[in-house]
Amino acid sequence: MKSLNCATYEGVDAKVVNVESTLTKGLPSFSIVGMASTAITESKERVKSALLSNEFSFPPKRITFSLAPSELNKSGSQFDLSMAVLILLNTVECDLSEWFVFGELGLDGAVKENIQLYPLILSLANQEVIHKVIVPFESIEKLSKIPNVAFYGVKTMNEAVEILKNQENATPNVEQSDIDYPHYEINEKKYYYVKEYEEDFSDVKGQEVAKRAALISAAGFHNIILEGSPGCGKSMIANRIRYILPPMDNSEILDLAKLDVLDGKEPEFKPHRSFKNPHHSSTPASVFGGGSFKAKIGEVGLANGGILFFDELPHFSKGVLESLREPMQDGKIRISRVNSKVEYPAKFLFVGAMNPCPCGNLLDRDKECRCSDLEIQRYKNRLSDPFLDRIDLNVVMQNVNADDTPSLSSKEMHKMVVEAHIRAKKRGQDEFNANLNDKDIEKFCSLSEEVKDTLDMAINRFTLSFRSIKKVQKVARTIADLAKCERIQKEHLLEALSYRRR
């Protein structure tokens, strides 16, 4: 019996699968056991054709492959190469225990690229269980971004066999390639960013309060809701926040590439955070993930590390809005089904945009609101207090005026965000200000006696909840970072309080 390592998905993570083979006496047959999907059972025909096309004669034996652990559902065509290699190495003495082998076979024995290999191998690398791996040669360029893994690219199954026969003389195809973008280094860790602003804040004329709130939101990853009349620039601002978000480290870029693959996109390995904006008619399963048999990732999980934008916020179903409270608070989303239970990371920046009433004209100076008090109340009641309590910044947009002029550009705002990010990292923060836990709030958001007194007055006057108090402190910390201050001052706290919901 011989065995090799391969892997399959369980949620967004990879699980190691041990591929075992035996050739025993009996009627000639070829079988695969171990909860294999249709794509894996079909590999029998691909493996047979690939071997016969390369002048291999099947021995008159019973060939059995076992995919362990047997209770784990396996799927994908990446098992083809490992099964073919095990048959060819059946009589060869060699140690295969450290090797992982991935690849789909063509009928002629060629090893084909599979875009799903990247998230699989990245997940295994993050778990530190993979070190030497044989992959399709066409995948080498993408996979070489993953650190601490030696990749051996092959074009045919015979090349894979030669590598495993002569392991001492085999050398990896390429060294790990660096991410080629502007960066800076803090505590021996590099942070990458891009200076590309396809949509610029200089296009937004006026709306200085909203632009200031967007800057604070981007710098500290604070959830924000923009409320205003139709056409006042809510969506414009929301779409431009993505270009001024903080830099990304290497692991964040690799994780983003993994999510791109799971979303059906070609990974770019670009330090540009994701932006997801599901329509208000989206189903809960498409927003949060799910499925009756296999729990798939949804928009909330795909927005991890980036922006989740809900336009026309009150038009989303009550169930979706209330279910959003958990990931906004915990930074993760859990999907439980009879057949599987999966947990995805979901640390996103939530951006919401809404009208003040159903017709949108409640705050307009020139247009008359056509809504009754009851309609307005029903519209507002679609957003519950527990949901709104998880929002850090609430902004009421101003009317558009003919004499409005542009002010800060995205380039200038991004520079301020980067400087605030550097300050946070230099004082030892691992998380964005919005994601600080109670212990970190005490450490990084300390207040002087004067500022504490101001906060106590606000608590009594506005009846702030414990969550609201912490959010005010974290927003004040971001405002202090933007002002290049080591400690939170009274004016920083007052500005943070001005963004609370009234």
Hey, how many other C-beta atoms are within 10 angstroms of the C-beta on 217?
30
Domain 2-165 has CATH 2.30.30.180: no
Read off the amino acid at residue 109: G
Q: Are 235 and 353 in contact (CB under 8 A)?
A: yes
Tell me the pTM: 0.88
> Would the pLDDT of 281 be above 80?
yes
Is domain 189-409 annotated with CATH 3.40.140.10?
no
- Domains 2-165 and 189-409 alike in fold: no
Q: What is the mean pLDDT of residues 376-382?
A: 93
Residue 180 pLDDT more than 80?
Answer: no
Instruction: Look at residue 126 and tell me whether its pLDDT is greater than 90.
Output: no
Tell me what the mean pLDDT of segment 213-235 comes to.
Answer: 95
CA distance 75 to 38: 8
CB of 73 within 8 A of CB of 35? yes
Q: What pLDDT shows up at residue 169?
A: 87
Q: How far is CA 355 from the centre of its chain?
A: 29
Q: 243-253 pLDDT, tens per residue?
A: 999 999 988 99
Tell whether the model's pLDDT for residue 175 goes beyond 60: no
Q: Does the structure show a pLDDT above 70 at 293?
A: no
Residue 11 has pLDDT above 80, yes or no: no
Q: What is the mean pLDDT of residues 156-171?
A: 92
Q: How is the chain split into domains, by residue range?
A: 2-165, 189-409, 436-502
How many angstroms separate the CA atoms of 422 and 441, rounded? 18
pLDDT tier at 38 (50, 70, 90 boundaries)? confident
* Element at 6 (helix H, strand E): strand 2-10
* pLDDT, tens digit (0-9, with 9 covering 90-100), for 82-105: 999 999 998 888 888 899 999 999
Query: Tokens 């008159």 — which residue?
Result: 60
**Residue 24 parent element (H or E):** strand 13-24
Copy the structure tokens of residue 231.
Answer: 């056409």
Least confident range from 37-41, 98-102, 288-292, 449-453: namely 288-292
Model pLDDT for residues 452-497, shown as the tens digit of each residue:
999 999 999 988 999 999 999 999 999 999 999 999 999 999 999 9
Higher pLDDT, 55 or 178: 55
pLDDT of residue 294: 66
